[in-house]
Amino acid sequence: MEKTKQKGHHGLWILIVAAMVLEAISCIQYFTSRAGIRAEAEQRAKSELRRAELEINVVTVEVEAATKMLVTMAERYIDRPDSIAAATRVLLQTMDKIGSAGVACKAYLFPKEGQWYEVCSSRDTCNGQPCIYTREIGSAEHDYFQMDWYKNGFVHDSCWWSEPYLDDSGARTMIVSCTHPIRNRQGEIVAVACVDLSLDYLQRISEYLQIYKDSYYSIRSNKGLDIVSGADTVPGRKYQIYDEEIDATGWKISIIIPEDVIFAELNRIGELIGLLMLIGLGLLIFIVWRSGRDTMRLIDSTARNQKMENELHIASAIQMAMLPKVFPPFSDRLDLNIYGSVDPAKEVGGDLYDFYVRHDKLFFCIGDVSGKGVPASLVMSMTRSLFRGITSHEERAAEIVRQMNDGLAEQNDSEMFVTLILGVLDLTSGQLDYCNAGHNPPVLMAGGRWQTVDVLPNLPLGIMAGFDYKQQSLQMNADDLLFLYTDGLSEAENGEHAQFGEQRIMNNLATVSDTRPRAIIDMMQSSVNAFVDGAEQSDDLTMLVVRYQQKALLMRNDIQQIPTLAEWVEGLGIPDELSMPVNLALEEAVSNVMLYAYPETNSGRVFVEFNRHQSAIIFTITDSGIPFDPTKQKPADTTLSAEDRAIGGLGIHLVRQLMDEVTYRREDDKNVLTLIKRI
């Protein structure tokens, strides 16, 4: 009996010790799980905050770019209030994220408009349909001279973001504004451009930040004012707060999550474990052990997967934001059409293309980084940054590639390399200088015929610093096309591992009837999709098409630029028998504009546009100089001697003799002279 009691006591003590150990294990498990869940919640919140920050940064960068675009247009027409109003309207038609845009001028800038002149275009509804409403809103009741955004526009020589405010005259909603000074031709600040971003739009951007039930989010300005405000917190309820600063504006975005929401599932598991302990110690030990092990694995695996997924999403968004995505990219240029696309095989890729225009020269490149995934995307980003940085001050194709190679090779511990082809196209003459660094040769369409461009076998970038890259050149004429691609196109495989190949590329290009760059890329993308027939994509696929249209020429009113006119006409491909009379007529007409349209103290521009019809070629010469109709001048009497003949008149007489039709009109404060030669 005593032994039984002792055994019972021993068993009780074993159960007590086991229960205490189990309780200790349960406590350890609970607090470990709590720490893991807290870390997961923090990581998830910060990932979403970084994603929101990226999207808001992209929006604010676009708004700042729109503001600078409005400044450029306003400064061009600073003495024409109607054109300034039109510029605000054009900006809203171009960029759909902008709620309203305006220009506020200093007092009596336009005397006829009075002391106040603030023109604003905003989105509205007309007859149930979206529309843009442009109006002049400056007045004594709307005295914008006293408003912070106007005052700061005169103080800051760059884009300045305002605190949130209610715009009851322009956008008619709560907004934040990006302002920028506008200067006249003497460099004096005479007005302020203001582009508004609706807080309703920012509210929609931040809606996905509600990552838990009852979680809140807010965006606050530099001074702590609510731009997007969340719900009020409940007294006595504990919260976790996570913040991220938005680099472009200095705003702070926050997520506020109740602790009981974060740990709701953990608390439920704890209650279940407690109940199971009452049912049986052995079963409880088993459940706690399995629960602890599985829970930690689940938390760890979920956190890793979520972190990786969020980081890949962020990397992909950043990578795509680096590439040009607005087409057509140069709406003010009639001499150029360009389109590009990139289709990464993974979440992030190593292909790139980029282009921009500086000093009437198009700088462009297309490249392919060895490898895939995140490492390739980092090298791609570095390559694109080097391209932009070096081409900002260097115009020689081979020298640009050489410096890019040295920059990549300097710290290439990963031993990755980049195949790339880079071109510099002179939009005035059509000369293309290019340098190939181990990339697929591009294909040129000239005179309606596609042919592979000859390229030298230079080394890819990043392999060996100091390599001497060789440059090549070719002449592009009007309507010539250049098709560039990465090996993701030529090496695309179908289910039988057959490759698309360069011959199929040439065959598809030979069938092109629509020569718009976008149409060519869409056609090629459809062809390769049909070929692979759903097979998994194994490599990034990038294409770029450049079309040199060379149908327009922009010159300063400088007689020294006349030789440029002849070079431009030569590249238009007009019949040889018409080349000389057309050249003479254009030189006389353009010289007349340069010599007499603008006063000596003023600078101006002359714009020459070319169009071809079945029965005629047409040149249109436009300038914004002094109104002058040369067609109303009396015909020169060529029967008189040079001493007896009045000065002037021979130029227009020669133009009339050389061309079949000469007409003049005054349109939008511009002289427009049209010369027609029948063929």
Residue-wise pLDDT tens digits, 282-301: 775 666 667 667 767 766 76
Q: What is the mean pLDDT of residues 653-666?
A: 89
Residue-wise pLDDT tens digits, 354-393: 999 998 899 999 999 887 777 777 888 889 899 999 999 9
Check: CB of residue 477 under 8 Å from CB of residue 430: yes
350 or 657: which carries more pLDDT confidence? 657
Check: CB of residue 517 under 8 Å from CB of residue 547: yes
**What's the pLDDT score for residue 4?**
47
Q: What is the mean pLDDT of residues 164-171?
A: 70
Q: What is the mean pLDDT of residues 487-507?
A: 89
Q: What is the mean pLDDT of residues 496-505?
A: 90
From the number of C-beta atoms within 10 Å of its C-beta (0-12, 13-18, 19+), residue 603 rates as: exposed
Three-state secondary structure along 300-341?
HHHHHHHHHHHHHHHHHHHHHHHCCCCCCCCCCCCCEEEEEE
Number of H helices, E strands in the chain: 15, 26
Which amino acid makes up residue 462? G
401 pLDDT more than 90? yes
**What's the pLDDT score for residue 169?**
66
Residue-wise pLDDT tens digits, 546-586: 988 756 778 888 888 888 888 888 877 788 888 888 989 99
642 pLDDT more than 50? no
645 falls in which pLDDT band (50, 70, 90)? very low
Check: CB of residue 362 under 8 Å from CB of residue 336: yes
What 3-state DSSP class applies to 450?
strand
Check: CB of residue 256 under 8 Å from CB of residue 218: yes
Domains and CATH numbers, the chain: 323-548 (3.60.40.10), 552-678 (3.30.565.10)
- Mean pLDDT estimate for the chain: 81
Backbone angles phi and psi of 670, in degrees to 5:
-130, 145
Tokens representing 64 are 């700042």
Residue-wise pLDDT tens digits, 588-623: 899 888 888 888 767 788 888 887 776 788 898 999
The H-or-E segment that residue 283 falls in is helix 281-322
Q: Characterize the bridge pairing of strands 189-198 and 173-183.
A: antiparallel
Report which DSSP code applies to 635: P
Q: In the chain, what percentage of residues exceed pLDDT 90?
A: 21
**What's the pLDDT score for residue 6?**
52
484 pLDDT more than 90? yes
CA distance 10 to 4: 9
CA distances from 585 to 608, 661, 665, 671, 679 (A): 13, 11, 18, 17, 16
48 pLDDT more than 80? no
365-402: b or e for each residue (b if 16 or more CB lie within 10 Å)? bbbbbbebbbebbbbbbbbbebbeebbeeeeebbebbb
Q: What is the mean pLDDT of residues 64-93?
A: 88
644 falls in which pLDDT band (50, 70, 90)? very low
208 pLDDT more than 70? no
Q: How many CA atoms lie within 13 A of 371 on its CB side?
A: 13
Other CB atoms closer than 10 Å to residue 106's CB: what's the count? 17
CA distance 285 to 280: 9
331 pLDDT more than 70? no
**What's the pLDDT score for residue 459?**
93
CA distance 132 to 89: 7
Which amino acid makes up residue 343? D
Query: Which of 8-12, 198-202, 332-336, 673-677 is predicted least confidently?
Result: 8-12
CA distance 630 to 618: 18
CA distance 85 to 78: 11
What 3-state DSSP class applies to 654?
helix
Check: CB of residue 528 under 8 Å from CB of residue 489: yes
**What's the pLDDT score for residue 661?**
92
Residue-wise pLDDT tens digits, 420-479: 999 999 887 789 999 999 999 999 998 789 999 999 989 999 888 889 999 999 998 877
Residue-wise pLDDT tens digits, 14-43: 667 766 776 777 778 777 877 777 777 777
